[in-house]
Structure 1
Amino acid sequence: MDAITDSKPSFYEITMQDRLNDMLWQSVRHLVSILLDKTPSLTPFRYYSYEISSILCALLDLYSLLTTKGTFSENFYSLCRNITSKSSIFSYLFIHYLLPCFIKFPLPGQIYSFLKGLTMLGFLYFNYNYYSPEFAILKQELIRQKTRYRMGTAFIGLLLLLKAVEVFFTSKKGVSEVMALDNIQPPYKDSVIGKGLCPICKEKFVNPTALSSSGYVFCYTCIRQHLQVYSACPVTNIRSSLRNMRKIHMHEGV
């Protein structure tokens, strides 16, 4: 048991704690955005949702680092850092929440991804002590906890609540977007356009093409020219583009 405790964490543990950290961040960001949008007095702060979410996650990590020497996600998997002073904790918070501001740009992001791949490769196969550039800069190693800290039920409940709220509002938003779509009016029972004729040129279909947005069929040339000018279905007036064009095959005599 002691050998397991003193060994380096596995690739699975590192990956899962990284995913948990990302999930926690996304949940907090989503919850903060909803709170700022739904509360009129807080609406002016909605443009600072990223900063507010970063502060909340930083406070959570600060408390966890002071009590367990590991972040919330690291402590969840019984991992910790070889931190020797409080200044190391604040250095981590500074770099961890400032680094994304730089790597969001293409070139710094590519450089960081390359360095992260190298450090992870060295960590797994060449006994390198740091699994990411962030740990290398801070000179902090990720190790297993010698003393297992029990995570309070309040923190676990908070994590589950954040994820449940995110799932609820995400699904609700998806349903509202579907309900907000324009309803396609049914065609007239007695159409003045004969069967197998293009609604635009009133001639027999030439290279028939359907619009996925409305379901009506036209000649390829007719509907392409119409969409380039009006960007809408000529029958239902539903907004459409060239991406909505679908080639169909019709039997002879149809």
Structure 2
Amino acid sequence: MSFLTVGGDGSQRPTFFELIAADRLMPSLKAAIVFSLSVFAQRRPILHKVLDWEDELFALITAFLDRQSLASSSSTFADSLYGLRRAPYVREGPSKSLTGQQQKVTLLLLVVVPYLRSKLDALYKRHHTPSEGFLGLSAPQPAPRRAPLLQTQGSRSGRLQEALACLREAALAAFMKAYPFIHMAQEGLTFSYQLAYLLQSSPYFSPTLHLLGQHVVRTSAQELVLSERSKRQERRQQLLGVRSQGNFLWRALHEGLLRANYLFTDHTRNALILAVFGFRLLEWWYTSAEEKLAAEQKLEPPPPPPPPLPSPQGVPLPSDPAICPLCRQTRTNPAMTSVSGYTFCYPCLFNSVTREQCCPVTRIPASIDSIRRLYQST
């Protein structure tokens, strides 16, 4: 099976692994930005307020990066790093660029869908409290009882508040039951599209691309040259239009702002990627140094606690430690209770614990599960 195919317009189809890497770039970028803000917040507590709005902050960053990239090359920020672009899907003929309306719809989905998904995941994790059940599976927890609202008799506002509270609880309970199935269906649908793309049965890599009627294609060298030439020509016309308007100060200020905007737009992507990689490098560097310093300052482990003392009502201990306290014979097939640490013959200890539910020496409560067999290495 070939992962490199050529479309009807002669453009090379992106590989599955390139699209996977581009799809995971933005979540990795968000994790790096949140981690960086968390580190800086240790020195600047005001940044904690920014972390409270991390989803909104990253939505704005995504909107800015993808808007610039879509306008210049019909590609998202992640796709542009791998030399890819989006185009309306046609079975035959050249792949055209996205229109202005298609760019707006694409940008809306790229920003809104991840934002809503992040908010729904956070809401589910905040209210989900699994418990250990049989074989480690999560057992359902009974819903906590809601405290009754204090209201005066015959108060319309009190009844309205109680009705709204009941409605919110019912909506939250329905969401908690339905969201795992919705998430499973979404992940299964995404996996099906990716598998179909891998097997070359579908031109769409994701359900979002199918919904938009777009597919991802490689950006050829000729398209890059034409895009760069068109961008320079458009900027030249903008500067010429500014130079022919207003007085000297207005023209200089407007031209300076335009040139600053061009410089910022051209280098934002590379600067952001370099900053993230640079911060990750510093993080690894200082983490290694801290671990080495902490390893040199390790303290010795404390001594074990003393064993429990024998109880006056318990079985007396023999003078010879090789003798079983119960049968008073040389110990065979040794075993111990984890609650006390005293050693007996396994049959003697098993019968005693089964009958009295405690350690024979210390009388500490014990069960059969606390019996440990001892094996002597040869």
TM-score (norm 1): 0.63
Work out whether 1:46 is the aligned partner of 2:51.
yes
Provide the secondary structure at the position in 2 that maps to 1:24.
helix
Map 1:45-64; keep pairs closer than 5 Å. 45-64=50-69
Most deviating of 133-142 and 100-109? 100-109
Task: Give structure 1 stretches of 5+ with no counterpart.
Answer: 194-198, 211-216, 227-244
Identity, % of aligned positions: 20
Q: 1:134 to 1:96 in 2, by over 3 A?
A: farther
What one-letter code is carried by the residue in structure 1 that aligns with 2:184? Q
Provide Cα deviations, 1:53-95, integer angstroms capped at 9, x if missing partner.
3332332233222223222221111111123224134323223
Q: Counterparts of 1:55 and 1:171 in 2: how far apart (Å)?
A: 34
2:56–2:115 CA contact under 8 A, matched in 1: no
- Counterpart of 1:138? 212
C-alpha separation between the residues in 2 aligned to 1:48 and 1:71?
23
- Equivalences for residues 1-254 of structure 1 within 5 A: 3=6, 6-82=11-87, 83-85=98-100, 86-91=103-108, 92-102=110-120, 105-125=179-199, 127-146=201-220, 147-148=223-224, 153-164=270-281, 167=284, 184-186=301-303, 199-201=307-309, 206-207=335-336, 218=341, 249=374, 251=376
Q: For 1:54 and 1:171, how far apart are their aligned partners in 2?
A: 33
TM-score by length of 2: 0.45
Distance (whole Å) between structure 1 residues aligned to residue 61 and residue 68 of structure 2: 11
Structure with bigger gyration radius: 2
Name the residue aligned to 1:241: none
Residue 75 of structure 1 aligns to a residue whose secondary structure is helix
Structure 1 residues 29 and 66, CA, compared in 2 at 3 Å: closer, same or farther? Answer: farther
Please provide the CA RMSD for this pair.
4.5
With CA pairs under 8 Å and 6+ residues apart, which has the higher RCO, 1 or 2?
1
1:51 and 1:181, CA in 2 relative to 1: closer, same or farther beyond 3 A? farther
How many residue pairs were aligned?
218
